[in-house]
Every structure is written in C-alpha cells, then in structure tokens.
Amino acid sequence: MTRAIGVDVDCPFTPAMLRKVTYAGSQSASFVQATRDLEVLAESKVSRERVQRWTKRVGEERVKEAKTLADAYQALPLPEQQQSPTTQVPQVACVMMDGGRIQVRDRGQAQREGSGYWKESLVGCCLSMVSQQHARDPSPTISKTFVDPQRMRDLSREIKGISTSAEEADVPSEEFPDDRQGRPEVLVRSVVATRAGQDALGSRLVAEAHARGFQAARRKAFVADGSATNWSVHKKYFSHYIPILDFTHAICYVYTAAMVGQLSKAAWDDYVRWAQWLWEGAVDKVVAALAVRAKELGRPPDGDETSPAAIVAKTLGYLQNGRSRMKYHEYRRLGLPITSSHIESTIKQINRRLKGTEKFWDQGAEPLLVLAADHLTETNRLVQFWKNRRKRLPSMRHYQTAG
C-alpha cells in the first residue's frame, strides 16, 4: 500500500511550500506583495493568482474547522462545558473583544451612501495571565499616564475623535505613580476573528476559551469597551466572567466631559479629581458631579451630538449604564486587567492585512480574517491544522475523465 503524499489533487505546491504561500498570502500587505515576499525571502516565484487562490482555499478550510469546533463545544452537556479538557489551567483567564472595520464590496452592487463599504469585523482574544491577589487595592492612585495633559489630549483624539484645548499645564504632577502596581502579565494569547456576526464570534471564542482550560480558572475576566455587541456576547457566552469596562475608554469619556465648555485650568482640575474617583471605582461620585454640570448646561437639542451639553449628557449615560463594570479598585485587588489594550493592539495587527482605503473584500474576507487571527495565535492551533489537514484531503480530481 502506498503512502499519502499529502497534496490536494489540484494543488501545485508541496505541503511545506503551501504553508509558506498561505503564510505570505495572509501576512503580507497584499497578494501582490506576497508574491514579492516569496520571491525575495523564499526564493520562489509564485503568481499572485496562485497565492490568492490557495490562501483563500486554506482559509476556507480553517473557517470550516473553526465552525466545527464551535458546534462541538455547543453540543457538549453543560457539566462538560464547565470542565477543562486540559490540565493546564491559567491562573487568570481573560477574554477581550472589540470590533474592527474593513471594506466589503459586492461586485454587483452600486456604490453605497453614508458609511460607504465599511463593515464591522469582530475580534476576540483569550489571554492566559499571571498576577497576585491582594488584601486591598495595590495601586490606589491613578497612573501618571492618565493625568498627563498631552497624553490625554492624544488619547481622546484617537478614541473619541474629539480635540480639546491645550492651555493646561503640560507636565503631570510627580505625586502620581508611573504605572499600575500588580498589573497582570500575559503568558499566551490566542485570537479569533470573524465577519459573521456576534454569535459566530461568541461561539468560537467560548470554544477557544474552553479548549484552553479557561472555564476551570479561579479568576476570570471579560474586558471590552462599552459597545452593546460586546456585552451581548458577555451575557450569552461569558456570564460567569467578571465584566470589566475598559478603563481607557471610560477615562476618555470623563476627560471629554470635563474639558468641554469650561476654562482650561478649572476643567483640568475637575478632570483630575474625577479621574481619580473613576480609578477608585467611585463612579457614583463622578455621576453626581456630572449631573450637576448637566443641569447647568441644560438639555441638549435633539440631534445635537457636539455641544458641551450633549457630550456631558452622553458621558452621564455611559457611566450610568456601565457602572456595574467599573469597580476598578476591586479588579486591581484581584490582579485583573482594567484596560483592553491587548485587543486594541491585536486589531491593529489584523488591520495591517485587512484594512485600508484601497482594500476591498468580497467573500474572501472571512478566510483571510481567520488566517490573520491564526498567525497571531501563540498556541499550536496552526501546527495542528497542518498536521491534520492531510487526513481530510479530497481523493478525486474535480474533472470527469472520459471512459
């Protein structure tokens, strides 16, 4: 009996070469760039069409595999879902998620109005972490970075898209610590990404968390910004994880509300006070202070989103809705993360391949998203995929030969 060669019936590459082609196709900035990278780095000439076709083909297989794993997890009885299939259980299990945006164009469709072709993609990551638990908050004073005027101006512009005046002092006071004490350290990251909606992301993310033994971890956290999508996923798939609203987003809301419609010095002093309250988890104090400001400014007219009254009202709503996920002093005591910086940087890494004003995707976006996530994953997910792939190869050529 002969031995399998492990090559698809219509594949022009050896298995090892197909791995290189797929890597280049999903990691280079474009398929054209992938052919150049292969020529320079792997000294192999492969046409753009072949790189595109085979990267998508392998990506589609990965999409199918991810769905199968998610379905298999959902089919498990509840007690098994709550057990760890592995003996390696992380000290701290952290799940983060956020949305990205890519351009998707249906070739048959006319150009769209408004947001054009931009569509949401969803990305989540499972992070195993180590940290100490403490009897009380190990870092009760807000970190210097959040009371640095220049840094907060930049952060607010990046996250909220709002510029504020630059007249306040430019140097943060020395009384604030450089960094948070007892910050958890990330050990291993695995990434899940999809364009198929929040249920697809949630089911794949929870299957990934289960496979990594997260369900058995004693400390579990789910960190995300205030988007309703994120908290729907939390409610449906991760309700037993401690919900944490990303501190960076929350502080930007507070910063913007403090800085609009006030003289700089007074505004900055208000901000520093409110920021410290937020850091302490004393959200009620911030809400009370903002309620006074909202009363002074009056009710914003309908449709107004940019006036000081509208910004303060929006911040008030944001804090009131999210206050149960803002017990930051308690999260630090438990050694949990309070920002979603890891998912933010993961999305930036995925965007390098998928996002660009010149990049338009059709049905090919999903396979590429999944492959981009795979390549950012530090577990042996892809190694296992390639190992198992030869067992699933189709055995017949697609064409029909004459008898």
Partner 1 sequence: MATTDQINERIAAFARALAAEMGEVDDSDALSWLDAIETKAVEIGDAVSVELVRQKSTDRPAADEESSCPKCGQLSRYRGHRERELVSRRGPLTIREAEYFCPCCRKAFFPDDQGDRR
Binding site residues, partner 1, CB under 8 A: 1-9, 11-14, 16-17, 20, 42-44, 46, 390-397, 400-401, 403
Residue placing its CB nearer to partner 1 in the complex, 8 or 98:
8
Q: How far is the CB of 23 from partner 1 (least distance, A)?
A: 12
Residue placing its CB nearer to partner 1 in the complex, 136 or 391:
391
Q: Which two tokens stand for residue 81?
A: 């879902």
Residue 96 host element (H or E)? strand 92-103
Q: How far is the CB of 18 from partner 1 (least distance, A)?
A: 9
Residue placing its CB nearer to partner 1 in the complex, 47 or 88:
47
Q: Which two tokens stand for residue 219?
A: 């400390």
Residue placing its CB nearer to partner 1 in the complex, 37 or 225:
37
Specify the 3-state DSSP secondary structure of 222: strand
Q: How far is the CB of 2 from partner 1 (least distance, A)?
A: 5
Residue placing its CB nearer to partner 1 in the complex, 9 or 263:
9
Residue placing its CB nearer to partner 1 in the complex, 43 or 174:
43
Q: What are phi and psi of 80, to 5 degrees?
A: -70, -35
Residue placing its CB nearer to partner 1 in the complex, 40 or 78:
40
Q: Which pairing describes strands 92-103 and 219-224: parallel, antiparallel, or unpaired?
A: parallel
Q: What are phi and psi of 119, to 5 degrees?
A: -130, 155
Q: How far is the CB of 402 from partner 1 (least distance, A)?
A: 8
Task: Give CA–CA dist 142/178, Å, rounded.
Answer: 9
Task: Give CA–CA dist 367/281, Å, rounded.
Answer: 41
Q: How far is the CB of 4 from partner 1 (least distance, A)?
A: 5
Residue 366 host element (H or E)? helix 365-376
Amino acid at 183: R
Task: Centre a 10 Å sphere on the Cβ of residue 398 and count the other Cβ atoms it contains.
Answer: 7
Q: Which of 330, 241, 238 is nearest to 279 (CA)?
A: 330
* Contact of 334 with 132, CB cutoff 8 Å: no
Task: Give CA–CA dist 337/1, Å, rounded.
Answer: 56
Q: How far is the CB of 69 from partner 1 (least distance, A)?
A: 20
Calculate the dihedral angle through the C-alpha atoms of 69, 75, 77, 80, rounding to the nearest 10 degrees: 0
* Contact of 245 with 339, CB cutoff 8 Å: no
Task: Give CA–CA dist 126/390, Å, rounded.
Answer: 28
Q: How far is the CB of 95 from partner 1 (least distance, A)?
A: 35
Residue 61 host element (H or E)? helix 48-75
Q: How far is the CB of 16 from partner 1 (least distance, A)?
A: 5
* Contact of 10 with 397, CB cutoff 8 Å: yes
Residue placing its CB nearer to partner 1 in the complex, 9 or 72:
9
Residue placing its CB nearer to partner 1 in the complex, 50 or 342:
50
Q: How far is the CB of 42 from partner 1 (least distance, A)?
A: 7
Q: How far is the CB of 13 from partner 1 (least distance, A)?
A: 5
**Tally of residues, the chain:** 403
DSSP 174: T
Residue 56 host element (H or E)? helix 48-75
Residue placing its CB nearer to partner 1 in the complex, 16 or 266:
16
Specify the 3-state DSSP secondary structure of 221: strand
Q: How far is the CB of 66 from partner 1 (least distance, A)?
A: 21
Residue placing its CB nearer to partner 1 in the complex, 18 or 370:
18
Largest CA distance in the chain: 89
